[in-house]
Chains A and B, each alone.
Chain A
Amino acid sequence: MDPSSSGIQEPFDLIRLSLSERVFVKLRGDRELSGILHAYDGHMNLILSDVEETIMIVDEEGQGAVNIAKRKMNMLFVRGDGVILVSPPSRT
Chain B
Amino acid sequence: MEESTPPPPPNESSPPPPPPAATSGSPTDFLKGVVGKRVVVRLTSGVDYKGVLSCLDGYMNIALEQTEEHVNGTITNRYGDTFIRGNNVLYISAAEAL
Contacts and interface: CB of A to CB of B under 8 A. Distances in A.
A15 to B, nearest CB: 6
B82 A4 contact: no
Contacts, number: 77
B49 to A, nearest CB: 8
B43 A92 contact: no
Interface residues of B, number: 24
Contacts of B87: 81
Given A11-B63, A81-B87, A86 B55 contact: no
Nearest to B37: A3
What range describes how many residues of A lie at the interface? 20 to 34
Given A3-B55, A4-B52, A84-B88, A11 B62 contact: yes
B55 A85 contact: no
Interface string A33-56: 000000000001000000000000
